[in-house]
Chain A
Amino acid sequence: MNGDILAFEFFRNAVFASLLASIACGIVGSYVVVKKIGFISGGIAHTAFGGIGLGYYLGINPLFGVIPFSLGAAIAIGLLGRKAKVAEDTAIAAFWAVGMAVGVILIGLTPGYAPNLFSYLFGNILTVPTGDLWMIAMLDLLIAGVTWTFSKEFLALSFDEEYAEVSGVKTTLFYLLLLCLIALTVVILVRIVGIVLVIALLTIPAAIARVFSRSLGGMMLLATLLSAFFSLAGLWISYELDLASGATIIILAGGAFLMVHAGRLVISSWQAR
């Protein structure tokens, strides 16, 4: 990478945003993978489009609209599944579509042109303002603090929920808390890869890390490093080749994911001989 490029604030911000987002991605993504709730994460992310529409409609930073929408979707999907016994995939599908519809209507009602809409859908790491970096850093601190405080509850919830409940853990409460952490991570990742691609960055680095990890803490650390690598490498490649940054990051991560699992398959077939 040309060193001069770091002289530009937008590029420095992109690098910092990549590194900061990787922390939330590594921590929360690990829970998403071991608890197998990738599609809930997708549902929360897409519902957040309603928040972007609200941001445009009210003329405020769309990320401030994303926060209540994604948190609301997390709690509603969780409660519908746990308390109202609605099948979780049904609740996800409903919120996914309704959130997008609300966003489309609100953007339609907003007078004039909706600038940067495409970057919220598919990400544009090069447009992250300094103010958003502070917000991402605060959310990182919140996510890391909550997961450290309740690490044993989240581990039990992910590994054996019934046993956690028998042990007196308020499993529904901690499940909702976990979904809220996912919602906050969505807020962070919207700027990096966009609403449509959030699910990939929440699952792929952690899924690769799981293969090489012996503990959940180790998996989080490795997933954070992988996420940082994919984001920075994707940023560099997209800059050099003039490609969309969010999509480049995801394709890089997806390629690594396929290579790791293909490698595993080859090794296990070779060992079975």
Chain B
Amino acid sequence: MRREIVRCHRLGVELGGVRVLRDLSFSVDEGDFLAIVGPNGGGKTTLLRVLLGLQKPSEGHAEVFGAAPGSYPEKIGYVPQRLFFDRDFPLGVREAVLMGRMALKTPFQHYNKTDRAAAEEALRIVGLGAIGNRRIGALSGGELQRALIARALAGKPELLLLDEPTASVDPEMKTSIYDLLDKLKKSVTIVLVTHDTGTVSRFVGRVLCLNCSMVIRENPAGTPGGDAAQQVYPYPVDLLVHHPSERPESNSQILRP
């Protein structure tokens, strides 16, 4: 039996008097690759913030590694939706990735050789090994996303949480990021928030459809049904069949709003 990594039971979140999540129950087991999809304002990012310990639930409860969210930061790698930062910030890519080792250190410890080797390895995994010296502000959108994934991987996490990592990259880079996640899923449990319902079902093991009116449908093997999709999205949804030859190991249906 696989270990339970994430468990949410009747979870609800209210932000400024607005109900963002309601009565949400699901779990993520070790080795899962779960995609959370849904319309804008559906509570996807809020759910991720709850799992990170950045947002307290208003009702119900969430557990990550059997404890309150935020209890084990060293076991979690996090890739934010979009990092807004000063492009003139004097920081190299390598130093930015090194921040992924922060959760493993106490406040009085400085980074050591092991940390630098782990950061280098993470850069190599995402294909940025050659540009570790470059200034972080000089990276393209796709390179920056890869650098953020490298930062999340540098701590060798057991759970990787990604918030729309392909939101601002071109289609080629999008495929390359999904290919990377496809490789990573063999060694780390992944929870991915995405709008990219068209591509995501080719890669993930389970899809969680979510919207603010509390509807939640969970579909194994990335095959969200038409009725579930229709309840989740506030507009007509067609389910299209894509050709298995595109990716032989992938699933047979994709959801395309």
A-side residues, CB < 8 A to B, are 34, 36, 149-153, 155-156, 158-160, 162-169, 210-211, 213-216, 218-219
Contact = CB atoms under 8 A, between A and B. Distances in A.
A36 B84 CA distance: 13
Secondary structure of the B contact surface, majority rule: loop
Given A152-B105, A159-B85, A160-B83, A214 B76 contact: no
Given A152-B110, A153-B107, A160-B85, A166 B91 contact: no
A165 B107 CA distance: 13
Nearest to B111: A152
B65 to A, nearest CB: 14
A216 B95 CA distance: 10
Contacts of B73: 166-168
A158 B73 CA distance: 19
B54 A162 contact: yes
Nearest to B103: A167
B99 interface: yes
B53 to A, nearest CB: 7
Nearest to A219: B90
Contacts of A162: 54, 80
B135 to A, nearest CB: 6
B78 A163 contact: yes
B102 A168 contact: yes
Interface in B76-124: 76, 78, 80, 83, 85-86, 88-92, 95-96, 99, 102-103, 105, 107-108, 110-111
Task: Point out which of B80, B91, B96, B151 has the most chain A C-beta atoms below 10 A from its C-beta.
Answer: B91
A169 B107 CA distance: 8
A158 B136 CA distance: 14
A166 B99 contact: no
B74 interface: yes
Contacts of B90: 34, 210, 213-216, 218-219
B91 A168 contact: no
Given A156-B102, A168-B74, A163 B80 contact: yes
Q: Nearest 7 CB-CB pairs, A to B?
A: A168-B73, A167-B102, A213-B90, A167-B103, A219-B90, A166-B78, A168-B103
A159 B90 CA distance: 10
B191 interface: no
A193 B96 CA distance: 35
Interface of B: 52-54, 70, 73-74, 76, 78, 80, 83, 85-86, 88-92, 95-96, 99, 102-103, 105, 107-108, 110-111, 135, 151
A160 B99 contact: yes
Contacts of B70: 166, 168
Contacts of B102: 152-153, 156, 164, 167-169
Contacts of B91: 155, 159, 215-216
Given A163-B99, A210-B88, 6 more contacts: A151-B110, A159-B89, A162-B54, A165-B54, A166-B52, A219-B90
Nearest to B102: A167
Given A166-B54, A166-B73, A167-B103, A215 B95 contact: yes
B108 A149 contact: yes
Contacts of B89: 34, 158-159
25 contacts: A36-B86, A152-B99, A152-B110, A152-B111, A153-B102, A153-B107, A155-B91, A155-B99, A156-B99, A160-B83, A160-B99, A162-B80, A163-B99, A166-B53, A166-B54, A166-B76, A168-B73, A169-B102, A169-B107, A210-B90, A215-B91, A215-B92, A216-B90, A216-B91, A219-B90
Question: Most B CB atoms within 10 A — which of A160, A162, A166, A211?
Answer: A166
Nearest to B106: A168
A166 B163 CA distance: 14
Contacts of A218: 90
